[in-house]
Structure 1
Amino acid sequence: MAETADHGGGVRSIKVFIPDNPLGHTLVYVVDTDRGPVLIDTGWDDPASWDTLAEGLAGCGTSVDEIHGVVVTHHHPDHHGLSGKVREASGSWIAMHAADTAIVRRTRETRPGRWFSYMTAKLITVGAPEEHVAPLRDAAPRSTLPGFSPALPDREIVPGELLDLPGRRLRAIWTPGHTPGHVCLHLEEQHPSQLPGNGRLFSGDHLLPEITPHIGLYEDPDDGTITDPLGDYLDSLERIGRLAPAEVLPAHQYVFTDGPGRVRELLDHHEERLTGLRALLVEPLTPWQVAERMEWNRPWAQIPYGSRNIAVSEAEAHLRRLVKLGRAEAVPGTEPVTYVAV
């Protein structure tokens, strides 16, 4: 049976299963409005996840076909995966920030072979060894990838504006970093249990009680813009800290209070990580070598193949932040490129 929780004030949550993922589940929120329930995120596109969502909605006293709208915090498949099926079943709208809608559109239009070729070239550039690159190169000609047809949203979430939810005051806050179009959603209503603070915050993956979201480079094979995702994330964190919500309703783990305290912990964590990374750069290192030396939740030798790609992207994001801060620089003429502290 699906696990649900009532958070008061017309807000409930459903734990929707994520297959083969240590996170375990996505917390899908059901928000009552004058035109019917609205979902914040929908969960992974998997038959078991769909069944869990449907059971959970029944447990909340509603059903999939009664859903009025879907508000997506960001495009990742554990959040946006079931949105299309909900829309098909209910006729609901799907809303997403324009930056992530652009990623959805590009994903739908990009042939898997193009993506494999891009990743192959990128890994060579960061200094990945041949044994890591070879499987991607070999897979490209016959490649297929799951999740390459995510639902295209039909409404835009505009930062700073109230969403069109009759009877509710839900304001969008743009919080890039985890993705370029990630949004948090501020419920500007008094907390139902009168907790002190400024309303409630649906934080997606931006602010989680015990884990740090992945911050890697924004990947676009056709855009050479030099972005700074970690800088975006840290700036976004500070904005959320100043908001001081009474309660935070994240997309994973559990609901918690003291959002500003958690923000401070995350800011300190990333500053420590940047300081430690700069200490590694006493000698020139490629992004791959940096990733091998960084601290992860397990030794590098035990990190699975796909997770190593994610780790390298996170290492690149931290390197890019150090460069922007003037604390490191690329060594001219190196190929693959190396970085050194300054």
Structure 2
Amino acid sequence: MAASTRVTDHGGGVWSIQVPIPDNPLGHTLVYVVDTDRGPVLIDAGWDDPASWDTLTEGLTACGTSVGELYGVLVTHHHPDHHGLSGRAREASGAWVAMHAADLAIVRRTRETRPGRWFTYMTAKLTAAGAPEEHVAPLRTSEPRTLPGLSPALPDREIVPGELLDLPGRRLRAIWTPGHTPGHVCLHLEESHPAQLPGHGRLFSGDHLLPEISPHIGLYEDPDDATVTDPLGDYLDSLERVGRLAAAEILPAHQYAFTHALSRVGELLTHHEQRLAGLLSLLSDPLTLWQLAERTEWNRPWADIPHGSRNIAVSEVEAHLRRLVKLGRAEAVPGTDPVTYVAV
């Protein structure tokens, strides 16, 4: 696909470039280009891959600019399909790279943690979840190169929630929306919509609000921090906050732009309510996290879910279970190993 067909002009000095994610069903990240008085600013940068870089640079040319003219890179969250090319964009232009402090801390930790530490941690987590030995065994012998994004670029700046960002000539405000990651941000362009659509400006929603996909809500993993977080609770609160903005249009990092923000927020709230209710009904008998994941309804049968995706599924189940425990609707069964949980 030629770069020109990957570029969309959203009007008002905003474009998107479809930057491919190699070997991923999502297909691409929508990297946004926002014109400012000091040069273009990227919102996210895409996956660190040669073909992705070529698409990004060709896309910038199609937008009438170039990578060398970049003024800054705003990263909605630390995942490699969003932050991957930030460092290379900075090297090519001298642009700053900005991220929320909570995700900046994850980037710093990722850069400092030996890969073996992560595999040891994940092995312990999955064993505690009741995963069978045949699932855990590959992690004991995994090579470090199987982990993507081991050396992500260290951002220069922090995105401070509530503040107008450094985009001369534009009004772009950071909205902290934890859930998908602890430092996920949406970015609210507080300017009238170029097509005069009703509502309050446009919202770059990252992975927080997507038109057809429910973003993964898993655990905020830190091998050295035993704090019991509640990422699903964070996400649901963040969703309602975004709904109250009443943006005229949502510009997400995947799929396509859309205008039905309020109804989409309602659909996602209902989805998670149903997931919580489904887990609660399964917990009429004590189950481990792994058993809960096996019995949960996914978009395909458990037997067809590959190894890495099963880890993500268990993490998502645990995030929902933590919410039920926090609400006093489920609890751990004392003395069980691996731990089982039951409805209250």
2:298 corresponding residue in structure 1:
296
Q: Tell me the secondary structure at the aligned position of residue 31 of structure 2.
A: strand
2:144 corresponding residue in structure 1:
143
2:332 corresponding residue in structure 1:
330
1:264 corresponding residue in structure 2:
266
1:107 to 106, 110, 113: 110
Mapped partners of 1:181, 1:319: distance in 2: 21
1:13 corresponding residue in structure 2:
16
The Cα shift of 1:143 comes to: 3.1
Mapped partners of 1:20, 1:146: distance in 2: 13
Q: Tell me the secondary structure at the aligned position of residue 119 of structure 1.
A: helix
- The answer on 1:283 being equivalent to 2:288 is no
Q: Tell me the secondary structure at the aligned position of residue 70 of structure 1.
A: strand
Mapped partners of 1:285, 1:18: distance in 2: 36
The Cα shift of 1:107 comes to: 0.2
2:77 corresponding residue in structure 1:
74
2:183 corresponding residue in structure 1:
181
Mapped partners of 2:20, 2:100: distance in 1: 25
The Cα shift of 1:262 comes to: 0.5
1:32 to 32, 35, 38: 35
Mapped partners of 2:183, 2:320: distance in 1: 19
1:210 corresponding residue in structure 2:
212
Count of equivalent residues: 340
2:167 corresponding residue in structure 1:
165
Q: Tell me the secondary structure at the aligned position of residue 233 of structure 2.
A: helix
Q: Tell me the secondary structure at the aligned position of residue 173 of structure 1.
A: strand
- Code of the residue aligned with 1:25 in structure 2: it is H
Q: Tell me the secondary structure at the aligned position of residue 317 of structure 1.
A: helix
Q: 1:232-287, CA deviations, whole angstroms, 9 ceiling, x for partnerless residues?
A: 00000000011110000000000000211100010011001100110000100001
TM-score by length of 2: 0.98
Q: 1:159-209, CA deviations, whole angstroms, 9 ceiling, x for partnerless residues?
A: 000001100000000000000000000000000000000110000000000
The Cα shift of 1:158 comes to: 0.3
Mapped partners of 2:163, 2:22: distance in 1: 34
1:339 corresponding residue in structure 2:
341
Mapped partners of 1:146, 1:26: distance in 2: 16
2:95 corresponding residue in structure 1:
92
1:56 corresponding residue in structure 2:
59
1:119 to 103, 108, 122: 122
2:194 corresponding residue in structure 1:
192
TM-score by length of 1: 0.99
1:42 to 33, 40, 45: 45
Q: Tell me the secondary structure at the aligned position of residue 22 of structure 2.
A: coil
Mapped partners of 2:140, 2:340: distance in 1: 23
Gaps of 5+ in 2: none
Identity percentage over the alignment? Answer: 83
Mapped partners of 2:66, 2:224: distance in 1: 41
The Cα shift of 1:317 comes to: 0.3
- Code of the residue aligned with 1:52 in structure 2: it is T
Question: Does the Cα contact within 8 Å between 2:80 and 2:148 map onto a contact in 1?
Answer: no
Q: 1:63-101, CA deviations, whole angstroms, 9 ceiling, x for partnerless residues?
A: 111110000000000000000000000000000000000
